[in-house]
Chain A
Amino acid sequence: MEVSFGSFQVAVLMAFLFVTMALVTIFVVVARQSSRNVAFETVTDTGYRLRRAWLAFLVLLLGSGVVLSLFFLPFPGDSKATATVNVSGGLFYWSMNPETIPVGSEVSFDVTSADVNHGLGIYDPDGVLMGSVQAMPGYHNQLDLTFDKPGTYMMACLEYCGFKHHDMMKEFEVTQ
């Protein structure tokens, strides 16, 4: 299986690197200030005031992350699906019906497992992970995805299932 960076993932990584850099800066600054001799009251005077701003900032930042998330939930809604594909995971294979998907379709995957828990991850022809859903015995998870690009896609297992977990892959075609 080949993998490559998706633009979404790179954006997330960049955001994280940015946060990390900001945090590292703070920790370096505090460490450098640690050797000075400042009365604790002076530190807390500013510290408590800043803390309120810091709290407000975090609530705003995390809150907007949570609210934004609600608009992009991957959970199945009122499906506009033009095709249903049944997928079942088993030790150590994927079975899929039908096996090809016409390009442009909005597919609703009905995903389950024949034995233990598996995870269905779908990689596009460039090797970018489009998303995933769990394959659980006794349950059917519905995953809606749109296929705009023709080519060879890959299913891989994203839930540990045993000694050939990493071999549990299957290619499928999205055709014109």
Chain B
Amino acid sequence: MSQAATATEAANTNGGVLHPLGEKFNPNTSKPQNLVGWLFGGTGLALFALMALVGLLMRFTQADTVGVSPEWFYRLMTLHASGMLAGALLSMMGGLWFVVRAVVPGLSLGRAIASWLAIVAGAVLIVVAVLIGGFAAGWTFLFPLPFDASGQWSTWAAVTFIIGMGLVGVGFMVYCIDVLKATTQAYGGLSGALGVKWLRGKDPTGPPPQVIAATAVTIQGVICSAVGMTIVMALLDHTIDGQVALDALWAKNLTYFFGHTIANLIIYLAAGMIYVLVPLYAGRQWKLSKPLAIGWLFTIVFVMTAYSHHLYMDFVQPGAPQMISLVASSAAAIPVAVVTIYTGMMLIWGSRFRWTLTSVLLYLGFAGWAIGGSGAVIDSLIPINFRLHNTLWVPAHFHNYLMMGVGMWMMALVSYMLERAAGRTASRRTTIWAPLLMVGGGYGFIFSWYISGALGIPRRWAVQPIGTENYSLVASIFAIVFLIGFFMLLLEFFSLARTALARRREAPPEPALASIAGASTEADLALGNAPEPLLRSPFGIAVTVGLAVIASFALLPPISEASEATIGFHHLAHAVQFFIGAMLAAALASTPAIARRITPRWTNIGLITVILLPAGMLLFMIPAIYTDIEDENFLHASYHFVVLILGFLLGLGASTLGRTAGWAVLISSVGMGLMFAAGVTGG
């Protein structure tokens, strides 16, 4: 049969929404997928719309055309950035979940909803902190600014904001643990789900690309949120006990490790979604390939080591992270340029690509990523950064890839779901005009920033240098053009939604969903997804117990007494106790007798444990709590024993999460204790 003949046949069945050959790549959908898609994608887009208006108001303020005071400008700036990032994160988390769930049914709907709730609750606290509490330390909340407010906000506002950020981190953590657990369970462990087994010829089929992306992103997500929790808890400790002193350089490292990485991961979440959506319009499959699997391994390394470019102009930052970051920031671009975007272009080339609103948005997103990424790489070269650091070049490049890259993909996700549900494409007028206005307006808006960056205008200035207000004015007008296109798109979305609803009324009702919380574990039970024990062999168990024993030498009197000398060492001792407890539990839970009895029913409680306990441990490390009992031997010993128990419970919790996710949280939780010891003193 000729390709053309197949084409018309298929076109009849899918109403021409997709490429004639694309339907067979369309992910199967289930009720949970649709729920998560609409919930995450819808919330994300709503935040985008609101925060875009806030952004416009900010740019007009800089143009000196509206009377927003600097006090309010900086509040809006804090709100805009936090809200946009939370929205983009949610949206792409949902998009990736949607496509991965089609092949990994072990993803838990209940836990996805829990993660949504945590992030939305965090966003609400952030709104309260800013609009009611007047908090304006920026979304990066660099210590000590949240506590040195120049009279602009009080401590409760700072605490509310920090807890809000913490909740965003918790939500992301829940998502990452669950996705990591499910993908590694479905594809033979970490090396299976990352395609390493396939690369080494030990797995004939290998995981599909979206699973590799999901695994790679979520393992980084666990680490990144653990770092986020550490800085959040340290800041809370400082609030509770003013004597807790944080090192400013340490705080900056942790804050940017968390903030940079989570913001950067958004676009990698999106990449996983793109692997599935682009084929629908190209009629060609996005296949697993060696460059793809290798590219993601490199991506993990480079994305996790690039954050230090935020500290280039801190000359006291040690040379090693600076040099690693210099290399990593450039190198991270290679997998993107050579694998993801390049393959995307090959799929599209000569494919009789089906241009609909969705696919136009998908395509534009590639351009936003490529151009914005180039702006980022240029700025990541240290001699250039010397003259561009914290100038408007910075918002230029990240709006370039967040607004014109991720933003397009946030719209594409919702557009895809709508076109699919409505069984028709968006109107031709919107398909042409909305993207055109957004591209014209968006790039005009962003280029005014690139130029202003070259002019040396600092970023985050409510009042622009004399004589440059016109850049802000022109940019504001461009932003309006962007927003006209965006609202045109929203109108089209409403119209598509109406068609979809009408269509649904005619269709037979879908079976209702059993309880959301139950849905998760039921899936696991049905799939027989009992968590694999943390340790595979008696040898592994012996080694782990051995490690715990060796670590406990550090608690013998001569060393532990010396550790009382400084707070840092004392915290280190706590981390060691925590570690011992965790290792003992990991070993115990891996013994066949116990491992057999661990069921997926315990996963939710395990998840709660591994999130609360490390946070609790850090909260517990406040000198105000333990200095009073320092001299009472019994109390003091019990205190240390409690830390050990916390570690033990953590180990038990981790053992309900399967091997990969379990070890990821174990290692990062112990890491939290170590990081804390490295930077928190005083008392």
Contact = CB atoms under 8 A, between A and B. Distances in A.
A163 B71 contact: yes
B150 A91 contact: yes
B313 A62 contact: no
B457 A75 contact: no
A104 interface: no
A117 B142 contact: yes
A23 B370 contact: yes
B304 to A, nearest CB: 18
Interface in B425-467: 450-451, 453-458, 460-463, 465-467
Contacts of B390: 119, 121, 132, 158-159
Interface residues of A, number: 85
Contact of B353 (A34, A62, A164): A34
Contacts of B284: 40
A166 B458 contact: yes
Interface string A29-49: 011011111111011100100
B249 interface: yes
Instruction: Pick from B144, B330, B349 the residue with the most CB of A within 10 Å.
Output: B349
A117 B152 contact: no
Interface in B369-401: 370-371, 374-375, 377-378, 381-384, 386-391
Prevailing SS type, chain B contact patch = helix
Contacts of A44: 346
Instruction: Pick from A4, A12, A142 the residue with the most CB of B within 10 Å.
Output: A12
Interface stretch (B337-345, B492-500, B549-557, B603-611): B337-345
A92 B463 CA distance: 15
Contact of B3 (A26, A37, A134, A140): A37
A6 B319 CA distance: 28
A150 B366 CA distance: 48
Contacts of A157: 458
Given A34-B349, A161-B145, A166-B461, A3 B456 contact: yes
Instruction: Pick from B138, B311, B346, B457 the residue with the most CB of A within 10 Å.
Output: B346
Contacts, number: 239
B234 to A, nearest CB: 15
Interface stretch (A80-88, A95-103, A123-131): A123-131
A56 to B, nearest CB: 10
A123 B456 contact: yes
Given A3-B465, A43-B350, A162 B150 contact: yes
B465 A1 contact: yes
Interface in A98-150: 115-117, 119, 121, 123, 127-134, 136-143
Contact of A65 (B313, B330, B346): B330
A130 B389 CA distance: 11
A8 B387 contact: yes
Contacts of B367: 23-24, 27
B546 interface: no
B83 to A, nearest CB: 17
B384 A12 contact: yes
Given A69-B382, A116-B145, A133-B315, A62 B391 contact: no
Contacts of A38: 349-351
Prevailing SS type, chain A contact patch = mixed
A165 interface: yes
A77 B142 CA distance: 28
B460 A160 contact: yes
B388 to A, nearest CB: 7
B454 A143 contact: no
A113 B237 CA distance: 23
A99 B355 CA distance: 63
A75 B320 CA distance: 13
Given A15-B378, A131-B387, A163-B74, A138 B451 contact: no
A16 B338 contact: no
Contacts of A78: none
B314 interface: yes
Contact of B374 (A23, A30, A127): A23
Given A76-B315, A117-B142, A159-B390, A13 B353 contact: no
A134 to B, nearest CB: 5
Contacts of A91: 148, 150
B314 A34 contact: no
B467 to A, nearest CB: 6
Contacts of B351: 34, 38, 40
Nearest to A37: B352
Contact of B152 (A40, A136, A162): A162
Nearest to B352: A37
B457 A3 contact: yes
Contacts of A117: 142, 145, 248, 252
A39 B283 CA distance: 12
B450 A3 contact: no
A106 B71 CA distance: 39
Contacts of B70: 163-164, 166
Interface string B310-325: 0101111001001000
Contacts of A121: 390, 456, 458
B152 A4 contact: no
B248 A139 contact: yes
A116 B144 contact: yes
Contacts of B635: none
A55 B382 contact: no
B331 interface: yes
B383 A69 contact: yes
A27 B366 contact: yes
Contacts of B455: 3-5, 9
B349 A58 contact: no
23 contacts: A2-B465, A3-B456, A3-B457, A6-B454, A8-B387, A12-B387, A19-B371, A19-B378, A23-B374, A37-B352, A40-B350, A40-B351, A54-B337, A62-B333, A62-B377, A69-B384, A129-B456, A132-B390, A133-B315, A134-B313, A138-B248, A139-B314, A161-B145
Given A1-B465, A162-B148, 14 more contacts: A2-B466, A6-B454, A16-B374, A34-B349, A34-B351, A59-B334, A75-B315, A121-B458, A132-B313, A132-B387, A133-B313, A138-B249, A139-B249, A165-B462
**What are the 6 tightest A-B residue pairs by CB atom distance, in nearest-first order?**
A38-B350, A129-B456, A34-B353, A72-B383, A166-B461, A9-B454
